[in-house]
Amino acid sequence: MVTNSPQVNGKKEPKEEILKAALELFTEKGYCNTSIADIRQEANVSTGTIYHYFKNKEAIADALFEDILQSLNDSIKEIKRKNKNAFEQLRAIVELFFTLTEDAPDVIRFIITIRHQEFLPSRPPLSLTQPFQSLTQIMQEGVNKGEIRQIDPVVASACFYGTMTRMCQLRLEGVLQKQLDWYLLDTWTVIWRALAPG
Amino acid sequence: MVTNSPQVNGKKEPKEEILKAALELFTEKGYCNTSIADIRQEANVSTGTIYHYFKNKEAIADALFEDILQSLNDSIKEIKRKNKNAFEQLRAIVELFFTLTEDAPDVIRFIITIRHQEFLPSRPPLSLTQPFQSLTQIMQEGVNKGEIRQIDPVVASACFYGTMTRMCQLRLEGVLQKQLDWYLLDTWTVIWRALAPG
DNA sequence: CTAAATCGAGCGAACATTCAATCTAACCCT
DNA sequence: AGGGTTAGATTGAATGTTCGCTCGATTTAG
């Protein structure tokens, strides 16, 4: 993301401030319950400035969708590059989600709890986007190479993604008192027992 | 649910019609995007009738919450009564969710995809309600009796519930072409391998 | 006859969006 | 360097619409 204004010190780019405020409010109160006035206040800009950078409210959500999916995709590509087999790749993805849940909870909320179709009807369901295709691909390759049991890759993905995100969700809802990395070993063991051959 | 009016033939109870219409609309378009006018039209009643039976829009959602959680709780109680060990109980719950997803998709949508906190702030998160407590209890007992591996019951529940609901979600999103019972065996095998001792 | 049920026009508030005015800063010409 | 020009950035009051909800009138049923 390139800054096209000379602001380097103190003050921030209004566009970034708006996106930051919107992400926080959308994930906390929901898209519908967040008004432009709320964003205006949280981002410390005027209504006009918001409409200078974004066509309308939906376009803000759309930009967030784009940004977040892009960065998730990048992270997963990086993981696939650094780790050679399915075991290591999947484990790294669980670590990524657990870390993000603690360090950038709004990002994980945006991915796993927000219902995008309700306000971004032109976007496909998340399960059809690139990072999720990558996941199924990892499963498929894992099955082909014999690292993962012979099961329908879609069931394997569901077990992996469902278990992982359920843990994130419980943490975000305040049900889990301890940080997620405390549960990492148990979570990974459970997932891998489900997928490992033999 | 007791009917307190003599309507037995043709016409339906307005209250039930309103709830049915609201469930359909809330799960399809979201609570915020559903107006009273929408419900009015779908249920074939007037605005006044809606407000005769419900204090406000939120009260409609609240009644749905109550009804659906109650019936889910009853089903799970029934399952616990009929099945004695964790293996059978959990398997029956997966069957229940898969069957409901096909036969009453709106009910499952209400349970797994709707963000209740956004419009029912006084309700606890689902994970703290009775049917979910029952689930953790089944896990705990299973661990105690040695039917389930020695793992944190919360991780076991997350694996079970996360995998199951992810399959339901993929089906509801139209990603899975085949009916869920086609995946039942694979899904259950994956879950049970994660939880079984030894 | 009466009490509950049903109706829908209308009220007021909230909201997304527009726009004319003002401000800022970079650039140009002398 | 300094004054002048301009395009982009910023402002917030005004606008039109949507929506939840009220209420007095009308119908229904026991």
pLDDT of B119 strictly over 70? yes
**Interatomic CA distance for residues B60 and B17, integer angstroms:** 11
Q: How far off is chain A from B40, nearest CA to CA, in Å?
A: 21
Q: Looking at the structure, do residues B46 and B130 belong to the same domain, yes or no?
A: no
Is B18 in contact with B59 (CB distance < 8 Å)? no
Residues 81-120 of chain B in contact with strand D via CB under 7 angstroms: none
Answer yes or no: is A60 within a domain.
Answer: no
Is B156 in contact with B139 (CB distance < 8 Å)? yes
**Interatomic CA distance for residues B92 and B85, integer angstroms:** 11
Is B64 in contact with B23 (CB distance < 8 Å)? yes
Q: Looking at the structure, do residues B71 and B50 belong to the same domain, yes or no?
A: no
Of B154, B176, B186, the CB nearest to A170: B154
pLDDT digits (tens, 9 = 90+) for A71-84: 999 999 999 999 99
Answer yes or no: is B3 within a domain.
Answer: no
Q: Is A91 helix (H, G, I), strand (E, B) or coil?
A: helix
Answer yes or no: is B40 within a domain.
Answer: yes
> At B17, which CATH number?
1.10.10.60
Q: Which of A27, A128, A190 to mutate to test the interface with B (most CBs of B within 10 A)?
A: A190
pLDDT of A6 strictly over 90? no
- Closest to A49 in 3D by CA, of A18, A73, A19: A18
* Chain B residues inside the 8 Å CB shell of A197: none
- Closest to B63 in 3D by CA, of B53, B73, B49, B72: B53
- Strand intervals (E) in chain B: none
Average pLDDT over residues B75-88: 97
Q: Is B112 helix (H, G, I), strand (E, B) or coil?
A: helix
**Interatomic CA distance for residues A147 and B152, integer angstroms:** 26
Answer yes or no: is A4 within a domain.
Answer: no
Q: How far is CA B120 from CA A85, A160, A173, in A?
A: 45, 30, 15
**Interatomic CA distance for residues B65 and B114, integer angstroms:** 11
With an 8 Å Cβ cutoff, are B173 and A118 in contact? no
Interface size between A and B, measured as CB pairs under 8 A: 122
Residues 49-108 in A contacting B (C-alpha not used; CB under 8 Å): none
Q: Looking at the structure, do residues A73 and A168 belong to the same domain, yes or no?
A: yes
pLDDT of A36 strictly over 50? yes
Q: Looking at the structure, do residues B74 and B156 belong to the same domain, yes or no?
A: yes
Answer yes or no: is B1 within a domain.
Answer: no
If one counts every other C-beta atom within 10 angstroms of the C-beta of residue B143, the result is 19
Judged by average pLDDT, the poorest of A42-51, A64-73, B4-13, B65-74 is: B4-13
Is A24 in contact with A3 (CB distance < 8 Å)? no
Domain count for chain B, please give it.
2
Q: How far is CA A192 from CA A101, A158, B127, in A?
A: 21, 13, 25
Tell me whether A112 touches chain B (CB under 8 Å): no
pLDDT of A85 strictly over 90? yes
**Interatomic CA distance for residues A184 and A84, integer angstroms:** 21
pLDDT of B6 reads: 39
- R_g of chain A computed on alpha carbons: 19
pLDDT of A8 strictly over 60? no
pLDDT of A1 strictly over 80? no
Q: Looking at the structure, do residues A105 and A186 belong to the same domain, yes or no?
A: yes
> At A164, which CATH number?
1.10.357.10
pLDDT of A11 reads: 52
Q: Looking at the structure, do residues B146 and B177 belong to the same domain, yes or no?
A: yes
pLDDT digits (tens, 9 = 90+) for B26-76: 999 999 999 999 999 999 999 999 999 999 999 999 999 999 999 999 999
Answer yes or no: is B47 within a domain.
Answer: yes
Q: Looking at the structure, do residues A124 and A172 belong to the same domain, yes or no?
A: yes
**Interatomic CA distance for residues B165 and B167, integer angstroms:** 5
**pLDDT > 90 fraction of chain A, expressed in percent and rounded:** 93
Domain residue limits at B102 = 65-195
pLDDT digits (tens, 9 = 90+) for B137-193: 999 999 999 999 999 999 999 999 999 999 999 999 999 999 999 999 999 999 999
pLDDT of A2 strictly over 70? no
Nearest nucleotide by C1' position to the A32 CA atom: C15
The residue lying closest to nucleotide C17, measuring its CA against C1', is A56
Average pLDDT over residues B104-133: 96
Q: How confident is the model at residue B12 (pLDDT cuts 50, 70, 90)?
A: confident
Q: How confident is the model at residue A198 (pLDDT cuts 50, 70, 90)?
A: confident
**Interatomic CA distance for residues B138 and B148, integer angstroms:** 10
Q: Where are the alpha helices (DSSP H) in chain A?
A: 14-29, 36-43, 47-53, 57-82, 86-103, 105-112, 130-144, 153-172, 184-195
Average pLDDT over residues A15-29: 98
pLDDT of B20 strictly over 70? yes
Q: Give the tokens for residue A197.
A: 């051959």
Q: Looking at the structure, do residues A50 and A103 belong to the same domain, yes or no?
A: no
pLDDT of A111 reads: 98
Answer yes or no: is B78 within a domain.
Answer: yes
Q: Looking at the structure, do residues A118 and A180 belong to the same domain, yes or no?
A: yes
pLDDT of B96 reads: 98
**Interatomic CA distance for residues B71 and B128, integer angstroms:** 16
Q: Looking at the structure, do residues A72 and A160 belong to the same domain, yes or no?
A: yes
pLDDT digits (tens, 9 = 90+) for A103-152: 999 999 999 999 999 999 999 999 999 999 999 999 999 999 999 999 99
Q: Looking at the structure, do residues B38 and B104 belong to the same domain, yes or no?
A: no
Answer yes or no: is B38 within a domain.
Answer: yes
Longest dimension (CA), chain A: 62
Distance, Å, A5 CA → C29 C1': 26
Q: Looking at the structure, do residues B42 and B112 belong to the same domain, yes or no?
A: no
Q: How confident is the model at residue B11 (pLDDT cuts 50, 70, 90)?
A: low
